[in-house]
Amino acid sequence: MRRILENIKIAFKSLALNKLRSFLTMLGIIIGVGSVVAVMSIGAGAEASITENIQSMGTNTITITPGREQVSMGGREVSAESIGGAQTGTDLMEQRRNFINGFTENEDEEISAGELHLEDVEALKEEASLLEEIVPVLTGGGSTFSYMNWTGSVNITATSEDYLNFAGYELEKGNFFTADDVSNSSNTVVLGYNVVTDYFGKANPIGENVKINGKKFTVTGILKSVGYTFGMSADNSIYIPITTAQNKLYGIDTVNQITAKVTSEEVIDEAIAEAKTIMRIQHHILPGGNSDFEISSSAQLLEMASSVTDIMVILLSSIAAISLLVGGIGIMNIMFVSVTERTREIGIRKAIGAKNRDIMIQFITESIVLSLSGGIIGIGFAVLITGVLGAFTTLSSPITASPVIMALSFSTAIGLIFGIFPAMRAARLNPIESLRHE
């Protein structure tokens, strides 16, 4: 133990003699370790953020979306995504109808379109025993919102009266729209927290008239602030009855998606199978035919998001690890230089009784100390990176013990591996020739 401590002491003295050279040698290790630790911490923070967002929606949630649409003309298929198939808005809907109508003028053309309707929602409510709080959702971005002389752009979420309970939102003031409002396509609107702040300030907007895409609506409620989900804030949205959006804003009879909660997390697979069966019957799809809709669960989204994050972390860490390899080569190079510079010192040590093993251990110790010191500084570099990221973004990137231990272990291993060859060269020097070296 005493000999090991003595070798470490000699190693630090040797590094201190050439501070700038030692720092430049460690630079590859510093960058490599700092990058790997930072990337792993950022990846863990991103995964935790995604997990929190998905879990905030509930781990027993399923979402039904339209299937991929294809327009066939004389055997040629064109994706309906190019004509606004997955979006809403008056211009996009008109463009989509004109595009499809232009194709269907010929007899040899076929349209295979996956669409969701309010009738699908009613069928699920009547037939599904494992689903509850089934709500349709129709979204529209960039809609014009006006109050008095103020005009701006907002996101519209058109849905049913059950959406408030489904999403877990709470009202700050007023009331959410009712089933009668949905049945009658009432021009009622509930405002997100930020919309109220931007357009009304501290005034109470309940009962006020606003305009959405030029049509008059009455404000009936205000939602409490709900923050961000997947980088988007529901506070910047307004909420109206889905029938109002269909009949008065967009002129369509479809919805973007249908969301529902499963009665229990334990039966989520059975609930998906049940919903699929009901939807296939509702859409008159024969056995063996492809479904024109897709069903996903929050658990599947969580698993997929975790897999994508893990792949990205592995990829970026692998790229950052190249710096460790470069740093190791730099250490080996500088240790060879050190052996050449200290040839006479090695000869003197051998002349007074030092064995080849002692010389080899000394130089390996110096290599490990050099690499490990770079690793420790690299961890400090990673702390700085994640600290700056946390200060300027909402992403939390805590540095845990796991990447730190891994980084220090790799630093030690690199010092050992790349220090062996220079140490062997030093140990094999002939003492007589070493003493003659100038």
pLDDT at 165 over 70: yes
285-297 in b/e form (b: 16+ CB < 10 A) is: eeeeeeebbebeb
- Residue 173: strand, helix, or coil: strand
User: Is there a single domain that holds both residue 236 and residue 356?
Assistant: no
Structure tokens of 152? 């701006």
Amino acid at 258: I
For residues 329 and 182, membership in a common domain is answered with: no
> Looking at the structure, do residues 252 and 374 belong to the same domain, yes or no?
no
- For residue 111, pLDDT over 50 is answered with no
Q: Cβ atoms within 10 A of the Cβ of 137, count?
A: 20
Same domain, 129 and 256: yes
The confidence score (pLDDT) of residue 258 equals 94
Domain count, the chain: 3
Same domain membership, residue 278 and residue 194: yes
The Cα–Cα gap between 251 and 432 comes to 97
- Whether 317 and 348 share a structural domain: yes
**127 and 262 inside one domain:** yes
| CB-CB contact of 71 with 103 (8 Å) | yes
Residue 318 main-chain phi, psi, to 5 deg: -65, -40
Is residue 310 domain-shared with residue 376, that is, in the same domain? yes
Q: What are the CB-based long-range contacts (under 8 Å, 24+) for 210-213?
A: 210/145, 210/146, 210/147, 211/144, 211/145, 211/146, 211/147, 212/143, 212/144, 212/145, 212/146, 212/154, 212/156, 212/238, 212/240, 212/249, 213/90, 213/143, 213/144, 213/249
pLDDT band at 110 (very low <50, low <70, confident <90, very high): very low
104, 125: one domain: no
Highest mean pLDDT, choosing among 53-57, 134-138, 394-398 = 134-138
For the stretch 182-229, pLDDT in tens is: 999 999 999 999 999 999 988 899 999 999 999 999 999 999 988 755
> For the whole model, what pTM was predicted?
0.57
Q: Is the pLDDT of residue 37 over 80?
A: yes
Average pLDDT along the chain: 79
Residue 104 maps to a domain: yes
For the stretch 327-351, pLDDT in tens is 888 888 888 888 877 778 778 877 7
Q: Do 106 and 143 share a domain, yes or no?
A: no
Q: How far apart are CA 77 and CA 211, in angstroms?
A: 40
Please say whether the beta carbons of 235 and 199 come within 8 A.
Answer: no
Last residue of a domain, one of 264, 291, 318: 291
Please compute the mean of the pLDDT values over residues 150-175 and round it to a whole number.
90
Which stretches does DSSP call E strand in 192-285? 209-212, 215-223, 228-229, 232-233, 237-241, 257-262
Q: Which domain holds residue 80?
A: 70-112
Distance between alpha carbon 196 and the CA centroid of its chain, in Å?
A: 30
The percentage of the chain sitting over the pLDDT mark of 90, rounded to a whole number, equals 25
Q: How confident is the model at residue 299 (pLDDT cuts 50, 70, 90)?
A: low
* pLDDT of the residue at 434: 63
One domain, residues 141 and 279? yes
